Amino acid sequence: MAKTVDEDINQLERDVRQLKIEYEQFFGGGKKRPPTEIEWRIETLVKRYGERGAEMNYGQRFRYSNLSQLYVKYREIFRKRMKQREEGTVQRHFGAAAREIEAERTHHHRPEAAKPAAASSPFAVSWSDPDKEKKKVEQLYAAFRDAKTKTGEDVGSLTIEAFQNFVRKKTEQLKQQKNAHEVEYVITFENNQAKLKARVKS
């Protein structure tokens, strides 16, 4: 059964997000090879709908345009990092690349989106309803997954869907228990393990 335009664009969005995560793992030493298969899928969809713009409605064209522009920015950053890596001018960890990517992502979306923390500081975001701030959830998920990768922990079972469900339940639980409006999540390192801690904001 042929996929619809919306299904293809949803797949493009998932692939762009996963491309960023896997490239960060690659630069961090968690993966031996860059995610060329995902990049090929993205290139195929971008090319297909770049030639079929008339088949999309306004909303679909808007999403496609944003995603394709974001992919181009990621691709430029990754290729620059790859060149530096091959020339031996970059360390084997993704910190600098991740900061560049998040800066692009923050600029591309909303100014209030969470900014990446410095390498020596905990990564922290806060929200009152994670379902209404999905970009922050995605950033926290990527940062937590990367932190676990850096400490050598298994991230195979850490999916974005499970993570979203967890923070949704935890946020609601803390808000009810503490009569709070906003909950902050912080990634810290303890005993060579990445930990995600939640606390209410006064």
Taking only the tens place, the pLDDT of each residue in 118-135 is 334 467 888 888 888 888
Asked if 67 and 40 sit in the same domain, the reply is: yes
What pLDDT, on a 0 to 100 scale, did the predictor assign at position 151?
77
Closest CA to 152 of 35, 36, 34, 31: 31
Q: Are residues 92 and 2 in the same domain?
A: yes
Lowest mean pLDDT among 54-58, 91-95, 123-127, 168-172: 91-95
Choice among 26-30, 93-97, 136-140, 198-202 with the minimum mean pLDDT: 93-97
Q: Are residues 140 and 166 in the same domain?
A: yes
Query: Do 100 and 153 lie in a common domain?
Result: no
Cα(31)–Cα(154) distance, integer angstroms: 12
Say how many residues make up the chain: 202
Note whether 128 and 92 are same-domain residues. Answer: no
Widest Cα–Cα separation across the chain: 55
Q: What percent of the chain has pLDDT over 90?
A: 15
pLDDT of 44:
92
Q: How many domains does the chain have?
A: 2
Alpha-carbon Rg for the chain in angstroms: 18
pLDDT at 11: 93
Q: For residue 144, is pLDDT > 70?
A: yes
Residue 185 β-bridge partners:
125, 198
**Same domain (yes/no): 99, 122:** no
Q: How confident is the model at residue 81 (pLDDT cuts 50, 70, 90)?
A: confident
Q: Which of 78, 109, 140 is the endpoint of a domain?
A: 109
Last residue of a domain, one of 68, 93, 109: 109
Mean pLDDT over 72-101 rounds to 71
Mean pLDDT across 113-121: 40
The Cα–Cα gap between 49 and 8 comes to: 9
> Residues of the chain with pLDDT > 70: what percent?
81
CA distance 119 to 51: 42
* Cα of 30 vs its chain's centroid, Å: 16
Work out the number of other CB atoms within 10 angstroms of the CB of residue 149.
22
Quick check: 143 and 188 in contact, CB under 8 A? no
174: pLDDT strictly greater than 60: yes
Task: Enter the tokens of residue 84.
Answer: 């530096």
Q: Which domain holds residue 71?
A: 1-109
State the Cα–Cα distance between residues 60 and 49, nearest whole angstrom. 10
Q: Is the domain of 127 the same as that of 87? A: no
Same domain, 128 and 60: no
Does 187 lie in the same domain as 176? Answer: yes
Q: What is the average per-residue pLDDT within 62-90?
A: 85
15 and 101 fall within a common domain: yes
157/74 same-domain check: no
Question: Residue 105's pLDDT band (boundaries 50, 70, 90)?
Answer: low
Cβ–Cβ under 8 Å, residues 183 and 201: yes
Give the chain's mean pLDDT: 80
Q: Tell me which of 74, 109, 144 is where a domain ends.
A: 109
